[in-house]
Amino acid sequence: MDGGWQLVVLGLLMLGGYAADLLGRRTHVPRVTLLLLLGLVAGPEVLGLAPPEVRAWFPMVTHMALAIVGFLLGESFAGKHLKRGGKAAVVISLAVVCVTAIVVFAALVSVGVPAVLALLLAGIAPATAPAATLDVVREKNAEGPLTDTLLEVVAIDDAWGVMLFSLLLVIAGHLAGQGTGGQELLVGLWEVVGAGLLGALLAAPMAWVTGREGRGEPTLVEAVGFVFLCGGLAALLNVSYLLACIVLGATLANRAKHYTRPFHAIEGIREPFVIVFFVLAGFELDLAAAAALSVVGGVYIVARAAGKVCGGAIGARLAGAPPVLRDHIGWCLLPQAGVALGLALLGAERVPEAAPVLQIIIASTVLFEIVGPMVTVRALRRAGEAL
């Protein structure tokens, strides 16, 4: 496929994303679901409209999209955000992440799922969809302690979840035979610690470069440059580029003089990457494989929902939060979208033995993105905070 056709395909993908956004506003179906369905219909499983060469873009688009997502998640660890969220948001988010992962892993292993696949699904399960939750809150004009804490929790729980996934991915890789003996421990330690060091080291020059600009001057070029540099170096150094970019964002948010500028700049270019990423994820959906994994997928869906509800209740109790949070916060955390898909793609790439995880996450994401927002609305209404 020559350059002209590549531009045509990219243009159609962008216009498809625009159409999905318009349709989503009219039907209240989440855009991510429509983009996945667009990719599925245009892909080889249904109509085969897209050239097969399009799949070759997947690794690059995945890395770029996840580097951007990781960096933006890092802003959640800015000191002012953590202080504003207070103890309740931090404790609840940590409890939900840990309990959900434990429940999903235990449920999957109990029905005979291999440990490698169970670990990756357990690492992906805590991921949520902040955009979907925010849309619900704004649409229903929700206000109150549950709403306030919910928005604080979804701002930071994906970052905790990505860190957990990075650790579980290392363990899964070693269980799949990628390394032996003490070498496994060293490689795993390097993947996590090395990612943290890389992100922290690059944050210093990034803070200086982005902070030197005057008010109103652009920071997009240098911001994107540092994010992609971080992701690329992480891949070359065999460390977690997701974790490295999170640390880059977190360190920048706490050190830069004008730290909001690079985040706003990156946020402004995220859409094209997200659109292409979701549509290409739809291309990868194997309907036959998804059907064959229906039992495992069903166990994952039930276990994830149970883990969210129980984790929210446990976290709220540990934080001394009011009963309204203990009863409803977990139900508000069911939506799942882009971060989960990105982690699934990363897991399938790094541990080929666990490739089925991608089919399970794509199918379950569609369900959670449709049902999750409706459950969130119901919980907010029962708490007396939504119309």
pLDDT at residue 375 in the model: 84
pTM for this model (two decimals): 0.69
Task: Give the burial string for 128-147 (b: 16+ CB within 10 Å, else e).
Answer: bbbbbbebbbeebebeeebb
pLDDT at residue 101 in the model: 92
The pLDDT confidence band at residue 134, using thresholds 50, 70 and 90, is: low
**Inside any domain, residue 239:** yes
pLDDT at residue 181 in the model: 46
Q: Residue 168 is part of a domain; what is its CATH number?
A: 1.20.1530.20
Model confidence at 110: pLDDT above 70: yes
**Domains held by the chain: number:** 1
**Inside any domain, residue 10:** no
Q: At what angle do helices 3-27 and 260-283 cross, to 10 degrees?
A: 100
- Domain range for 113 is 58-382
**Inside any domain, residue 325:** yes
**Inside any domain, residue 232:** yes
Model confidence at 1: pLDDT above 60: no
**Inside any domain, residue 27:** no
**Inside any domain, residue 216:** yes
Taking only the tens place, the pLDDT of each residue in 285-339 is 666 656 656 788 889 999 999 999 999 999 989 888 888 888 888 888 888 766 7
Q: Which two tokens stand for residue 328?
A: 């409803």
**Inside any domain, residue 12:** no
pLDDT at residue 180 in the model: 46
Taking only the tens place, the pLDDT of each residue in 40-89 is 777 766 776 666 666 667 667 777 877 887 787 777 666 655 555 567 88
